[in-house]
Structure 1
Amino acid sequence: MTQPLNTAARRLVETLVMNGIDRVFCVPGESYLAVLDALADVRDKIQVIACRHEAGAANMAEAYGKLTGKPGVCMVTRGPGATHASIGVHTAHQDSTPMILFVGQIALTDRGRGAFQEVDYREVFGGLAKWATEIESPERTVEVVERAFATALQGRMGPVVIALPEDILHEEGGPAPLKPVVPARAALDPAFAEAVRERLSKAERPLLVLGGSGWSDEATTAIGDWAERLGLPVALSFRRKDLISNDRPSYAGDLGLGPNPKLIARVKDADLVIAVGARLGENPTQGYTLFTREQTAAKLVHIHPGAEELGRVWTPLLSATADNSLAALALSTIEPGRTWHDQAAAAHADYEAFIQPVEVTGAVNMSEVIRHLGEVLPADAILTNGAGNFAAWLHRFHRHMARRTQLAPTSGAMGYGYPAAIAAKSAAPEREVICIAGDGDYLMTGQEIATAVQYGINAIVVVVDNGTYGTIRMHQETHYPGAPRTIATDLKNPDFVKYAEAFGAFGVRCERTEDFPAALEAARNAGRPALVHLLTSAEDIAPNRTITGLRSR
């Protein structure tokens, strides 16, 4: 039987090309062979990067979406492939990142039989994705994929999951795509902007908080200039430190884990908080303790692209549904008739004091290591990380000087940083990309170094090895003090230099702060994927903290 020329699989790939997708991250599977075959015909337009694990592929797609603003595309097979990839979907949802996960599926004719690796993806991903669906009519393939792009990009950005029954992929695919999807964006009501101007004109201690995704460079520059012109202190939300340059005189620091206590005091003392794009979730609000609902009702102006986020936790004084960039551009035209330059200067001075190097007990001082990175890397270098207390050093001591230089999961996902670095270096090969990873964090996805070597993606990873799941051990010693009760947190690690070399990458070992500059330089000049094995003390778990007894310094 002759296959139709324009199959559903080919229509799907045509829609990806039409919408500017230039790479797909995948682990191949027999359930979507027809799509892989269609991708073979567009090698000049879409690079297919085959990964070693679906979690790596999904994390790469999420990072690509975060970096470029276009949906990151991941393709995996059914059952275990999809469930392995669910971590990337969860991160994309928590981080408001546009992403599309295509999952090969059993044939429609076998649905409900408990077929090999059968899963109901609407049910499994219904709570993780913005939309989870299955293409059941091949002639509607383009319609469904275009809706996926629109859903991923509109309102609060997020992930979409599309199941692809293998039998329909070979059938006639219906109409071809006509044009790229252009997401609808809501502008800020001029009357709302005037209400903000009026409130701002009466504020004695205002503060601007920026967060979320979907920002344009024009908008972040405009609102940064506006805050600088007015002397309005600016705080950035958890893991959004690259929205404006941290050297701006109005920059006050970021609201995340282990924040500057003086910034927390400033937020609590503010009589007007203008939050644009930030959801004001658990981490930036310090476990929902930064405000009371009575306080937000009197001082919070909350602007967010997703209407469902407004009033979700905090009762606002004023709220508006608007695209982050359009809202920022509108706000940047407001002239309240007064300035607060003394407050901005004080806030920035507090930030500068907070990022000065600290003392440690071991031979490697991570505050000095991170400072060195900032001194030698170009301003547009991309820093990535996963989850663990090691990341506190990076977030506290690194100055982000340019946009799109931070890729980190607000979801708190371990194993994210290294796949994110591979995706970033793949999408922007002209830029330097450094991943800072914990030892436990890295080995969750470290096998993707094989992917980096195979495709010549020369990202660098610094593995911060303290031989323990340090965050969990820290909590064990905090909550169950006294006789040693730590359990399941010690790690027996490999020789990471030999590990890297076994894959064909470069590896170098470093055991002292003063040796790090040479190790980093060797990695930067290696001409291939590189790993710096940085051995640190478990005592130096995070800035101003040790594991044993959590002694403050």
Structure 2
Amino acid sequence: MQQLRIHGARRVFLVPGESYLPCIDALNEHKGAIEPIVCRQESGAAYMAEAMGKLTGEPGICFVTRGPGATNASIGVHTAFQDSTPMILFIGQVGNDFYEREAFQEIDYRRMFGQMAKWVAQIDRTERIPEYIARAFSVATSGRPGPVVLALPEDTLWGTAEVADLPRYTRTYSHPGADDMRRMAALLEAAERPFMIVGGTGWTREAMGHVEDFAVRFQVPVGTAWRRLECFDQRSPNAAGHVGWAMTPELRQRLRDADVILAVGTRLGEATTEGYTVIESPMPRQKLIHVYPDASELGRVFAPTQAIVADVASFASALAPLSPREPLQRKAWVESARAEYLASLEPLPSKGPLSLDMAAAIAAKQLPPDACITVGAGNYALYPHRYRQYTGPGTSLVPTVGSMGYGLPAAISAKLEDPDRTVVCYAGDGCFQMNLQELGVALQYRVGVVVLVFNNGIWGTIRSHQEREFPGRNIALSFTNPDFTALVRSYGGHGEVVERTEDFSAALARACAFADREKLPALIELRYDADGIAPGETLSGIRDAAYARQQAATPSN
């Protein structure tokens, strides 16, 4: 615990376990410096730590017990790995005197986490604790950030040693060379239809400002990579929308028509490229300038025209002195991209008395510009993705890995980090129930988050796929829900049901006011027609289209 304090840890998320009791006891020595947050289940604790890593750029810290605790927490580690989030998971472990006997709850964590963490190790000697923890912080934050897992055998924790502290870790940065920047500028100046995609981690307000100024000078529209909505201020005249699954047809075509794509901080994964079709692998149709902090990622999936090894902050700083050598003629390209994006913010028509499109648009205008929106996974997530204009770091917490149950723990973590910021969690009825027990954390620590539960009684995303592949044969995808409003009231919170569009604005205002005033959770249960599965899309429409495809594929007699 002393080493964590030296390296700047201010908060640890944990589910207590006897396997690391000395660590819990040591928190007594660091009251006021390290805040312990006692969670209800290890996946919730790991999600909270991952969210803190996203928000701060420093490793989020999580402690869990061995065996079941570690397996529960693994979802947070997987999220941190695919989302490139700095995080350190500490796991209590059986003592070395029992190791390799399949002792109670024993697991080899090197094998278990080997492919979902940057580094997995076990501290077998007490005197090496400072060394391992210093390395863990450095590994978690260097290059492409990610999770580190450290196992703590009981004999190590109960041992004693006299050893010097190590200094606080220093983050390393990768800076682009002057030749890199000159070549990149030349490629962009020669382009007719360039497009920039920003994503990844490590963004700051300053870095975003440099990128926006550069985009204005070089007349380049900017899109945010899949679920990296906070990486660019979407109020900017150069903001062109959210790139990835469910993007608008206009944005999809614009990417295909682009002759140069400048990708900064993003891996250009499956979701962002819509299955490697909008930007093809291994050889993109467009000239690709790929900027990424990890050299091993460059050229791994795409053959770039130019690869630049740099973290986003350093690259953004290097953009500041660049200007076009001659006047550019791309103003219409930028303005048309902006116009298409602004048009997409207008609510699409939807059936039923409660329009999720309208509700999402109302929330987008009613919530403060700096509000933090957290989302788990499901088709409901497409509503805040589409209709909210995100303004910068900390305004969106979303798992790019698409893991369910993330929204509520992330919202709690965000509110703990910044108690004055409005934090709203969007959650499907299935997604919410994966970690709803963390309402206990909101109650215990007086965390005033607002939760919007999208209640349609089905696993919506899977149902849409089921109708697409097996139309009219729905089975095993529906469930009966509890009274969510009664549930949140049992945790001391505020709850109400909204079933009509015209009732949503006032309900949201009441929920935000309660959460702010009482510092307890507030929940709005949105009950709506399950046929409206996504913006501009219905289950019945998906089913009819599938029937038509089947009929067209059936040979006529």
User: Is the 1:468–1:538 Cα contact (8 Å) retained in structure 2?
Assistant: yes
CA distance in 2, matches of 1:72, 1:476: 37
User: 1:431 aligned to 421, 427, 439, which one?
Assistant: 421
Provide the residue aligned with 1:167 in structure 2: 155
Provide the residue aligned with 1:487 in structure 2: 475
Pairing 1:151-166 to 2, within 5 Å after superposition: 151-166=139-154
Provide the residue aligned with 1:536 in structure 2: 528
SS of structure 2 residue aligned to 1:214: coil
User: 1:449 aligned to 417, 439, 443, which one?
Assistant: 439
User: Does residue 289 of structure 2 align to residue 301 of structure 1?
Assistant: yes
User: 2:204 aligned to 201, 216, 220, which one?
Assistant: 216
User: Is the 2:279–2:285 Cα contact (8 Å) retained in structure 1?
Assistant: no
User: 1:388 aligned to 371, 378, 385, which one?
Assistant: 378
User: Is the 2:50–2:80 Cα contact (8 Å) retained in structure 1?
Assistant: yes
Deviation of 1:140 (Å) = 0.8
User: Does residue 6 of structure 2 align to residue 18 of structure 1?
Assistant: yes
Provide the residue aligned with 2:233 in structure 1: 245
User: Is the 1:237–1:284 Cα contact (8 Å) retained in structure 2?
Assistant: yes
Pairing 1:156-235 to 2, within 5 Å after superposition: 156-235=144-223
User: Does residue 344 of structure 2 align to residue 349 of structure 1?
Assistant: no
User: Does residue 318 of structure 2 align to residue 330 of structure 1?
Assistant: yes
SS of structure 2 residue aligned to 1:507: strand
Deviation of 1:176 (Å) = 3.7
User: 1:464 aligned to 439, 454, 476, which one?
Assistant: 454
SS of structure 1 residue aligned to 2:2: helix
Residue identity matched to 2:495: G
Provide the residue aligned with 1:523 in structure 2: 511
Deviation of 1:343 (Å) = 1.1
User: 1:73 aligned to 36, 61, 73, which one?
Assistant: 61
Residue identity matched to 1:402: G
User: 2:115 aligned to 121, 124, 127, which one?
Assistant: 127
Residue identity matched to 1:440: G
User: Is the 1:28–1:50 Cα contact (8 Å) retained in structure 2?
Assistant: yes
Deviation of 1:173 (Å) = 4.0
User: Is the 1:449–1:505 Cα contact (8 Å) retained in structure 2?
Assistant: no
Residue identity matched to 1:227: A
Compared with structure 1, are the counterparts of its residues 267 and 505 closer, same or farther at alpha carbon in structure 2 (3 Å cutoff)?
Answer: same
User: Is the 2:217–2:323 Cα contact (8 Å) retained in structure 1?
Assistant: no
1:427-451 Cα offsets, whole Å, 9 max, x none, are: 1101010000000000000111011
Compared with structure 1, are the counterparts of its residues 37 and 294 closer, same or farther at alpha carbon in structure 2 (3 Å cutoff)?
Answer: closer
Residue identity matched to 1:464: F
Deviation of 1:102 (Å) = 0.3
Provide the residue aligned with 2:549 in structure 1: none
SS of structure 2 residue aligned to 1:110: coil
CA distance in 2, matches of 1:456, 1:254: 34
User: Is the 2:467–2:543 Cα contact (8 Å) retained in structure 1?
Assistant: no
Deviation of 1:260 (Å) = 1.4
User: Does residue 302 of structure 2 align to residue 314 of structure 1?
Assistant: yes
CA distance in 1, matches of 2:219, 2:185: 15
Compared with structure 1, are the counterparts of its residues 297 and 548 closer, same or farther at alpha carbon in structure 2 (3 Å cutoff)?
Answer: closer
Residue identity matched to 2:449: A
CA distance in 2, matches of 1:451, 1:58: 14
Deviates more, 1:235-244 or 1:141-150: 235-244
CA distance in 2, matches of 1:90, 1:252: 30
User: Is the 1:257–1:392 Cα contact (8 Å) retained in structure 2?
Assistant: no
Residue identity matched to 2:338: H
1:87-112 Cα offsets, whole Å, 9 max, x none, are: 00000001000000000000111100
Pairing 1:280-291 to 2, within 5 Å after superposition: 280-291=268-279
User: Is the 2:198–2:232 Cα contact (8 Å) retained in structure 1?
Assistant: no
CA distance in 2, matches of 1:552, 1:409: 32
Deviation of 1:294 (Å) = 7.0
Provide the residue aligned with 1:102 in structure 2: 90
SS of structure 2 residue aligned to 1:361: coil
User: Is the 2:494–2:523 Cα contact (8 Å) retained in structure 1?
Assistant: yes
User: Is the 2:198–2:265 Cα contact (8 Å) retained in structure 1?
Assistant: yes
Q: Runs of at least 4 residues of structure 1 off by over 6 A? A: none
CA distance in 2, matches of 1:208, 1:101: 35
User: Is the 2:457–2:479 Cα contact (8 Å) retained in structure 1?
Assistant: yes
Q: Percent identity?
A: 45
1:193-234 Cα offsets, whole Å, 9 max, x none, are: 111112122111111111100122211111112112332111
Residue identity matched to 1:547: L
CA distance in 2, matches of 1:517, 1:103: 44
Provide the residue aligned with 2:396 in structure 1: 406
User: 1:548 aligned to 524, 540, 554, which one?
Assistant: 540
Residue identity matched to 1:471: T
Residue identity matched to 1:521: A
Say how many residue pairs are matched.
Answer: 539
User: Is the 2:468–2:543 Cα contact (8 Å) retained in structure 1?
Assistant: no
Deviation of 1:323 (Å) = 1.2
SS of structure 1 residue aligned to 2:529: coil
1:37-87 Cα offsets, whole Å, 9 max, x none, are: 111221211110111100000000001110111111010000000000000
User: Is the 2:208–2:233 Cα contact (8 Å) retained in structure 1?
Assistant: no
Compared with structure 1, are the counterparts of its residues 395 and 368 closer, same or farther at alpha carbon in structure 2 (3 Å cutoff)?
Answer: same
Q: TM-score with structure 1 length normalisation?
A: 0.95
User: Is the 2:364–2:389 Cα contact (8 Å) retained in structure 1?
Assistant: yes
1:376-411 Cα offsets, whole Å, 9 max, x none, are: 211111000000000001101111123220000000
SS of structure 2 residue aligned to 1:281: coil
User: Is the 2:90–2:151 Cα contact (8 Å) retained in structure 1?
Assistant: yes
1:311-341 Cα offsets, whole Å, 9 max, x none, are: 1111010102111110122123222233322
SS of structure 2 residue aligned to 1:144: helix
Residue identity matched to 1:529: P
User: Is the 2:415–2:423 Cα contact (8 Å) retained in structure 1?
Assistant: yes
Unaligned runs of 5+ in 1: 1-12
Provide the residue aligned with 1:3 in structure 2: none
Q: TM-score with structure 2 length normalisation?
A: 0.95
SS of structure 2 residue aligned to 1:308: coil
Provide the residue aligned with 2:554 in structure 1: none
Deviates more, 1:121-130 or 1:508-517: 508-517
Deviates more, 1:337-346 or 1:492-501: 337-346
Residue identity matched to 1:451: V
User: 1:379 aligned to 369, 375, 381, which one?
Assistant: 369
